[in-house]
Each structure stands twice: as structure tokens, then as C-alpha cells.
Structure 1
């Protein structure tokens, strides 16, 4: 079965594939994950006010245009002392979407005077699966330019939305070369055994992909989505 992941980031596609492969085991061989980018689908306008709403919006957008099951996620950083900001604005906190260095620099400046014990934060991820249920006699094509991104035409679709969180703290300077986004300034509460034993705790950007996937918000959300995926195989 082909499932479309609502992303143009091939790195994220690899990460999602690895997480689902672990969760599905041998049944992972029954699905083929492809990205919306590889199908030349545009990005929808994310008008939701929550992670759940944006994940569902993106999954509906892709399912409507392909007629295939779609997985989407929406995630961001929540800093307690900032009133849960940057939240859904995480990717464009400094004004330019996806400028990780600028986002990190601005956030660190905003909480520069906050004591270490009060720099608590968490990554949150919402993951959605939308499975369009079409009449077997309906062979009409989906209109990629229809502009319908709010679920019109998917009234009979099966929809599942789940959440995952990774708690931690914001460190005072970036560390690590892996990952993306706020990973270099985020120190997860859950740490690899070897990091705990050595006393040298790791930011998300210092962890290997396997270490990060085991504890990450996206990993938790996608593993929670596994039963819904298994139900359609």
C-alpha cells in the first residue's frame, strides 16, 4: 500500500520511515512511503491554531489530491516561561520560515535572563492519518488545483490524530551538529544510558538519529499512529 507523507523534506521522510519501520516490524514491508514533494504537490496554507489542526489540514490536503492515505505531522517548541511560545510559530519565530539559526538566536536572547531551573520546555508533535474512502466505481481524478484544503470531498474519510511530547530544558548556547530546528539548544529530560553514565548530557542535536527517535515527540506520536496504520493494511 502506498501512503503519502505530507512533506517536502526528504530528511523528514527518512526519519518517519525509520520510526514506522520499528513500530510496524515486518508489516512495514507492506507499505511504500512517498513524499508529497516527490508528487509535486504544493504546500497547503497552515491556517490552524493548534498542532492537531495543522496536522489534520495537511493530511486532508494530500489525501484529497491523491486519493491515497496520507500522514502528516505538525510540531514545535513550547517554552513555559514564554507562555507556551513559540508553539505553532516555531518554524518562523524570527520572521523567515525555516531559518533555524535566526530562530535559535532570537529565542536564546528572549530568555537570556531566565535562571536555568526556569528554562523548562517541551517539543510537541501532532501526527494525523487520513484515509479517503472512495466508491469503487468512482474513477474520477482528484483536482490538485481545487483549493479545497479544509476536508471538502473527504466527508467519509477515516481520520486519526495523536500527540507526542518530549520534555526538556533550553540550554544557553547551541551544541551539536545533528537534527534541525531548535535541536541544538534543547536538552531532553530523557537521555541515552551512556550519556547518563558519563555525566555529559546531550542536546537533541548531539544525539544520533536512533537515540533521538527513541525519545522524540515525533517518534512518540508516530508510534501512537501505528495501530491506525495497521488497521488499513
Structure 2
């Protein structure tokens, strides 16, 4: 096993610092000798490629990103694809969540468009869920690769206006099931405990720990 501080050992295939923070917190203390702040990095830190997310499911997109980064860096790579699934929209925005308003990553525009589309939908029909697929690709000898995919979900309902300053994306308008606050009003620890990404990454943890303990 590599010594702590000796360089990156796990790559998260994203440039999203919010996702990187969440993964580091989930891994903190899980692998002996792993310095999550220096050895769990994003794709930009190791020259990982930008990957076109052209799959038709969250699982396809997550695996495609993890494979590409693992191949490019020679390191175990994790990727996730996640989004918001709204019941009355037949599961949309779904895989298009990050570009629902037309431009990728414009959180405010995406959120405002979705609220406008749902303005006439009654409260009892505003069920929605955050959904996440998390994939791990571990390079092996002669081009072999071990792959694992796990799913996570956070059900709830959509508020009529944003609440809270935490999180990112659609966090300010999803009220998790059984709570009276939005995801954006939760602390980081509270969010990780119930989030779709937290569920998916925790389900993936045994495979991650195995890969980093070799």
C-alpha cells in the first residue's frame, strides 16, 4: 500500500468541488493510511479527460466516466451521474438535470425553469427524488478492469421556492421525505447521512476500500 501523502490514489471523475468534498468526508477514516485531502483528487488534478455524458441512464454515464479516467490515469476512478427525477414529469429532468435550461451547470436557470414548469402542480403531486449511480473502475494488468456500480435515492417533494444556502443544484427546492427543511438547509453531515449520493457511495465503499487496500 502507498504511504500517506505519497500522491493521488483515487480519482473522482468530476471538476465539481462539492462532490469531491462529499466523497472525501465519506472516505475519511475508512482506509488506513489514506490522506483523503491529498490522495483523493478530482480529474483536473491528474489530467483526467473530459468525458461526454451521452448514455441514456445514470448507470451508463457513471461507468463511461469512471472507465475513461481509470484508463487515462492508471488509478482507481469513481464517477457518478445523478439528477432529479420528478414524478409528474415522467422522471425528467433525469439525466438532463444539469442542463435542463439548455446550458450545462447553470444551477439557477435550471431551478427557475423547473419551478416555472411546475407552478400549477398541486402540493400533493410534487413528489420527486434525487437519484445517483456511482461507479468504480479499477485498472488491472493487461488492460483488465474491475467495475462496480451502485445506486442511491433520496425521495421527497418539491417546494415552491428555493430555501437555504447550502448544497448545489436543485438542493434548495427538494424537501426530503419526513423532514421540514430543504436539502440546502441541511448541514453537510446531515446531507451525507441521507443523500442519494451518500447512499450510492456508501454502497460502493466496500469495493473502494478493497481497491485502496491492495
The TM-score with structure 2 as length reference comes to: 0.90
1:27 shift after superposition: 3.2
CA contact (8 A) 1:6 1:71 kept: yes
1:72 counterpart SS class? strand
CA contact (8 A) 2:18 2:167 kept: no
Runs of 5+ unmatched residues, structure 2: 3-8
Aligned-residue CA RMSD (Å): 1.5
1:190 shift after superposition: 4.4
1:29 counterpart SS class? coil
The TM-score with structure 1 as length reference comes to: 0.83
Match of 2:93 among 83, 86, 89: 86
Asked if 1:99 is matched to 2:106, the reply is yes
In structure 2, relative to structure 1, the CA distance for the partners of 1:171 and 1:21 (3 Å cut) is same
Asked if 1:12 is matched to 2:6, the reply is no
Whole-Å separation in 2 of the counterparts to 1:185 and 1:9: 20
The size of the alignment, in residue pairs, is 203
Name segments (4+ residues, structure 1) moved above 2 Å.
Answer: 26-32
Could you tell me which residue of structure 1 aligns to residue 34 of structure 2? Answer: 29
CA contact (8 A) 2:15 2:44 kept: yes
Deviations 1:11-54 (A, max 9, x none): 321111101226x2x53737621111112323111111000000
CA contact (8 A) 2:85 2:131 kept: yes
Could you tell me which residue of structure 2 aligns to residue 58 of structure 1? Answer: 65
Match of 1:108 among 108, 115, 131: 115
Whole-Å separation in 2 of the counterparts to 1:184 and 1:218: 16
2:34 counterpart SS class? helix
Could you tell me which residue of structure 2 aligns to residue 207 of structure 1? Answer: 186
Runs of 5+ unmatched residues, structure 1: 136-153, 192-200
1:111 shift after superposition: 1.0
Asked if 1:124 is matched to 2:103, the reply is no
**Larger RCO, structure (CA 8 Å, separation 6 or more):** 1
Asked if 1:229 is matched to 2:208, the reply is yes
CA contact (8 A) 1:162 1:221 kept: yes
